[in-house]
Amino acid sequence: MGKGAGRRRADATTGRACPCGAGRVYADCCAEVHGGVAHAPTAEALMRSRFGAFALGDADYLLRSWHSSTRPARLELEPGQRWTRLEIVGTERGGLLDTAGTVTFHAHYRDAGRPGTLTERSRFVREDGRWVYLDGEQP
């Protein structure tokens, strides 16, 4: 994905419901986090913003929100995969005063018209004062 492509797509969706599932419009939810204007205040908020980035095809944000020790050099998103819904199953720590936390979730998608679900327990830590994705385990 070219630089700025995710931002163009995000700009086009600012009046719509945020794909993260928090129940707000995109402009009042993940738009500022995706655009680098704000940072996610909790591990769950970062998880939601990352799901929204997958749904919008914003690979640049996904890489920026990944811990430097586990971040891949490149990220290729599946062109036929459409992320449709996020369910947060549980969280451990990851609050405003924490330095680490986990979020367990079900991410629903359609790939070539077929439904699927990704279940993961993701670990998040603070790096340079902001939440980032460290890694995840799939049961």
Sketch the domain layout of the chain as residue ranges: 5-137
Q: What is the mean pLDDT of the chain?
A: 91
The correct answer on CATH 3.80.10.10 for the domain covering 5-137 is: no
pLDDT on residue 8: 41
pLDDT for 44-92, tens place per residue?
999 999 999 999 999 999 999 999 999 999 999 998 999 999 999 999 9
Give the separation between CA 102 and CA 120, rounded to whole angstroms.
Answer: 10
Among residues 55, 81, 53, the alpha carbon closest in space to that of 63 is found at: 53
Q: What is the pTM of this model?
A: 0.89
Q: Is the pLDDT of residue 7 over 90?
A: no
Alpha-carbon distances of 5 from 35, 53, 106, rounded to whole Å: 12, 12, 27
Q: What is the DSSP letter of 26?
A: G
pLDDT of 5 reads 43
pLDDT at 14: 61
CA angle 57, 25, 83 (to 5 degrees): 30
